[in-house]
Amino acid sequence: MPTQTLAIDFGTSNSAAALATAQGVFRIPIERGNETLPTAVFFPEDKGAMRLGTSAAEALIGGEEGRYMRALKSVLGLPLLHETRLICGHRRALSGIIADFLSELRQRAEAVTGQRFVRALSGRPVHFHTADPDKDTQAEADLRACYHAAGFDSVDFLPEPEAAAIACQGMGAEGQIGLIVDIGGGTSDFSVFRTGAGRPEILASHGIRLGGTDFDHAVSMTHAMPHLGLGGQLRRQMGAGLLPVPRAPYVDLATWAKIPFLYTPETRRMVDDMARLAVERERIARFSEVLEMELGHELAFAVERGKIAANSGGAGGRIDMRFITPGLAEEVTPDSLDTALSETRAALRAAAAETLVLAGVGPEEIGRIILVGGSSLMRIVSEEARALCPGAEVLRSEAFTAVVDGLALAARG
């Protein structure tokens, strides 16, 4: 008897697996009874087994010695995927880490269902990389190779917003035109579709490389990094005058996928030299502390919490950085969050509008907008959706599982 195809939503921030059954979609509890698994890993310093998901975050927050990694999907299609680095006593490439993650996900799904899975239907963004077909093609080839290395004999791909449209088919009248707005951790994807008697008709899909991790990056650069020296000045080693503090190391520290690769002797020496020449030495000394104690992910989590709190409205949020320096914190208000995300807002608006153009429909023809993806919970997403199509009903689907639901239904055929 042939085995079923396992539906997998391998996301930048969270992953999920599901099967379609006679009773509906069965989301496989792959994380302590939960339907989603944080896409994160932790390698213990003692060379113990790789930990996944919540266990990885708990090891980091608990202060265990080791290396935490998140946003692995964002390096697909880039040379960084295949570069080997020394991680807790072993030379590893990110491609191998992704394959190990997918292998563990497969094994957990098999343990729960009692089935063996050799075929997968995986979600993928419309574009892994904005306006770069070569990187796009390479990214899918990279992900396919990771699935094969994880023990799957075959894997097919379906764009994530199209999978979400399948899952949300019942949220509108037949013949109505809808817009899926799928904002994940690493990409923003859009599909215009028409509800039919069977599967929805996809009129157009579009996407950009922009997601929740980029929201975090913007907030970190505007709110947290100035406390570590960004925007400051350095004295020249020879001659008069001042130089701006280099921006590049702060960009990397504010980028989830690049944090683990900052902890090198070269970077530490560079930041120590910056501190020695800094006009405001105390701030860059904090950057040195972050590198020395490997606190980059703690800082990223603090920024993420502040962003989420500010997005909820009210008095706003707070980036608590006392793990770097006692009493260090920065407020994130709804207004300062809007300012930090102004470019993000404009990019989302332009991408959604471009999707309508590709579909050949006007904003007034959109009857409903369905928001999916964890980062669709950001206030700017619903605001831009309503501004683009003011006559449409804005609905929320299952933010974290709509894509995997649609993949499972598509896999059933």
pLDDT of the residue at 106: 97
Rg of the chain over all Cα atoms, to the nearest angstrom:
22
Mean pLDDT is lowest, of 15-19, 297-301, 314-318, 396-400, for 314-318
pLDDT of the residue at 217: 98
Q: Where are the alpha helices (DSSP H) in 312-341?
A: 334-340
- Distance CA(241)–CA(76), nearest Å, equals 42
Q: How confident is the model at residue 196 (pLDDT cuts 50, 70, 90)?
A: confident
pLDDT of the residue at 302: 97
Tokens of 108: 């957990």
Tokens of 207: 């996407």
Residue range 176-195: mean pLDDT, rounded: 96
Residues in the chain, overall count: 413
Q: What is the largest CA-CA distance in the chain?
A: 79
Residue range 54-78: mean pLDDT, rounded: 93
Instruction: For residue 66, give Cα distances in angstroms to 80, 88, 334, 394.
Output: 21, 7, 35, 44
Tokens of 116: 């063996």
Bridge partners (DSSP) of residue 15 are: 10, 37
% of the chain with per-residue pLDDT over 70:
98
Instruction: For residue 399, give Cα distances in angstroms to 33, 168, 186, 402, 412.
Output: 18, 11, 15, 6, 22
Contact 222, 339 (CB under 8 A): yes
Task: Count other C-beta atoms under 10 Å from residue 2's C-beta.
Answer: 6
- Distance CA(339)–CA(385), nearest Å, equals 19
pLDDT of the residue at 170: 77
pLDDT of the residue at 169: 81
pLDDT of the residue at 175: 87
Residue range 212-237: mean pLDDT, rounded: 97
Contact 395, 171 (CB under 8 A): yes
Which range in 186-200, 212-226, 229-243 is most confidently predicted, on average pLDDT? Answer: 212-226
Residue range 285-311: mean pLDDT, rounded: 96
pLDDT tens-digit profile of 23-52? 889 999 999 889 999 999 999 998 788 999
CB-based burial, 335-364: b 16+ in 10 Å, e otherwise: ebbbebbeebbebbbebbbebbeebebeee
- Distance CA(6)–CA(111), nearest Å, equals 13
Q: How far is CA 204 from the centre of its chain?
A: 23
Average pLDDT taken over every residue of the chain = 94
Nearest Cα to Cα of residue 205 among 273, 158, 241:
158
**Cα 305–Cα 309–Cα 314 angle in degrees, nearest 5:** 165
Residue range 231-240: mean pLDDT, rounded: 91
If residue 317 lies in a helix (H) or strand (E), which one and from where to where?
A: strand 317-320
pLDDT of the residue at 207: 97
**Helix (H/G/I), strand (E/B), else coil: 369:** strand
- Distance CA(62)–CA(301), nearest Å, equals 14
Contact 370, 385 (CB under 8 A): no
pLDDT tens-digit profile of 368-389? 999 999 999 999 999 999 999 9
Task: Tell whether the model's pLDDT for residue 1 goes beyond 60.
Answer: no
Strand ranges (E), 200-280: 201-208, 233-235, 242-244
Tokens of 50: 């790789």
At residue 323, what is the residue type? F
Residue range 140-163: mean pLDDT, rounded: 98
Contact 338, 380 (CB under 8 A): yes
Residue range 52-80: mean pLDDT, rounded: 93
pLDDT tens-digit profile of 252-265? 999 999 999 999 99
pLDDT of the residue at 240: 85
Better-predicted residue by pLDDT, 22 or 306: 306
Tokens of 291: 């590198």
> How many CA atoms lie less than 13 Å away from 150 in the CB half-sphere?
30
Task: Report CA dihedral (40, 216, 12, 133) to the nearest 10 degrees.
Answer: -140
Q: 1: exposed, middle or buried (C-beta count within 10 Å: 0-12, 13-18, 19+)? A: exposed
Whole-prediction pTM = 0.93
- Distance CA(179)–CA(57), nearest Å, equals 34
- Distance CA(410)–CA(199), nearest Å, equals 9
Residue range 5-33: mean pLDDT, rounded: 94
Q: What structural domains does the chain harbor?
A: 5-161+405-412 (3.30.420.40), 173-396 (3.30.420.40)
